[in-house]
Amino acid sequence: MATLAEIRAKLREQEDRKGGGNNSGGDNAIYPHWNMSEGSEAVLRFLPDRDPENVFFWKERLMIKLPFAGIKGQTDSRPVTVNVPCMEMYGETCNILNEVRGWFKDKSLEDQGRKYWKKRSYIFQGFVTDNPIKDDETPSNPIRRFIIGPQIFQIIKGALMDPEMEDLPTDYARGVDFRIKKTSKGGYADYSTSQWSRRERALTDEEKSAVETNGLYNLNDFLPKKPSDIEVKVMQEMFEASVDGEAYDPDRFGQYFRAPGMSAPTGDPNKAATPSASKTVEETKVETPAAQPVTQEPVAQPTTTSTETDDKPSSERAQDILKMIRERQS
């Protein structure tokens, strides 16, 4: 287990490098704190990662949301969003972000850029010691997983850098609980009043027994697997189709990445996005918290030039749009 000093050093190292950015997975191991009612509070106790190589007691996840106008072949389909992993999560260059990064230099493209920019979340594990969600049942293994957004994470991280915190909050004997408090601001859920408890608390005998019996999770197991070269190409094609305002094409993309709730296609795998693909690539399983109900944002329809015609292949239309955006940047 890493010491508090090691965690602080690692956090500083990450800050220096920066120089100054739903689906429950099908089980109730993930605690849905976003379902708390306004004004309520949940008390959590974080536990360390089972992976001894992980300095932190969390794992950062980077995802990109690709919105589509609907599903191809379905006349009454609604807009869908497909989550794909950002390659920066694996220490590699993300071609999608490289494309989108320049959009922020043009004010007319900023909203489009934010739509396609990477989304951060953080995976933790631990106990729920005070649960305000009445219909949430504690699973047989009471060690839950938590998908924490940037707002709460900054509170967690900020306290770790406070010199007055002398021990790791995950310490079994001298750790502290974390209180998630839900309010609202501007019509959206707000967790800015969440905080660490002021008093130390040792794990109870029941909690210690649960750790000994069930073991800790290796948090890395809940990150999406690294995409293959074929999947990276498919993600780029999906990105271009999304920017072009097209519907999601299950025949092209369904064997690689699908929207939540969609079943795997049963057609000919040779019709997939990449002709050289000869076998089905297993769907990337992603655990993301169910979003708070919001109005669906309309998919922006890119402006086409007068030289474009409807008989152009969709890939060429998307490339024309991206070319236009690049020219506007330059």
pLDDT at 191: 97
Q: 96 with 116: CB under 8 angstroms?
A: yes
For the stretch 74-85, pLDDT in tens is 888 899 999 999
Is residue 33 situated within a structural domain?
Answer: yes
CATH label of the domain that carries residue 9: 3.90.198.10
154-179 burial: b if 16+ Cβ within 10 Å, else e: ebbbeebeeeeeeebbbbeeebbbbb
| Calpha distance 49→59 (Å, rounded) | 9
Q: Is residue 294 part of a domain?
A: no
Question: Residue 256 domain-assigned?
Answer: no
Question: Would 183 be classed as within a structural domain?
Answer: yes
Q: What angle do the packed helices 314-329 and 229-243 form, to 10 degrees? A: 80
Task: Write out pLDDT tens, residues 289-325.
Answer: 433 333 333 333 333 333 333 444 444 545 555 555 5
DSSP structural state of residue 269: G
pLDDT bracket for residue 263 (50, 70, 90): confident
* Residue 283 domain-assigned (yes or no): no
Structural domain boundaries enclosing 135: 4-62+119-222
Segment 39-62 shows an average pLDDT of: 96
Would 134 be classed as within a structural domain? yes
What is the secondary structure of 112-123 as a DSSP string?
A: HHHHHS-EEEEE
pLDDT exceeds 80 at position 258: yes
Burial class (CB in 10 A: 0-12, 13-18, 19+), 315: middle
* pLDDT score recorded for residue 163: 85
Mean pLDDT for the chain overall: 81
Confidence of residue 267 (pLDDT cuts 50, 70, 90): low
Q: Tell me which of 11-20, 32-41, 42-51, 105-114 is least confident.
A: 11-20
Q: If you average pLDDT over residues 116-134, what whole number do you get?
A: 97
Q: How many domains does the chain have?
A: 1
What is the DSSP-derived secondary structure letter of residue 312? S
**Residue 231: its H or E element:** helix 229-243
DSSP letter for each residue of 178-229: EEEE-EEETTEEE-TT-EE-SS--PPPHHHHHHHHHH----GGGGSPPPPPH
Phi and psi (nearest 5°) for 318? -65, -40
Lowest mean pLDDT among 26-35, 96-105, 136-145, 312-321: 312-321
Question: What distance, in Å, lies between the first and last C-alpha atoms of the chain?
Answer: 49
Higher-confidence residue of 298 and 89: namely 89
For the cut 60, the answer to whether the pLDDT of residue 222 exceeds it is yes
What is the mean predicted confidence (pLDDT) over 20-46?
Answer: 80
Lowest-confidence range among 1-10, 98-107, 194-203, 210-219?
1-10
Look at residue 316 and tell me if it is in a domain.
no
Quick one: the chain helix, strand, coil %, rounded to 5?
30, 15, 50
Does residue 125 sit within a domain?
yes
Q: pTM of the prediction?
A: 0.73
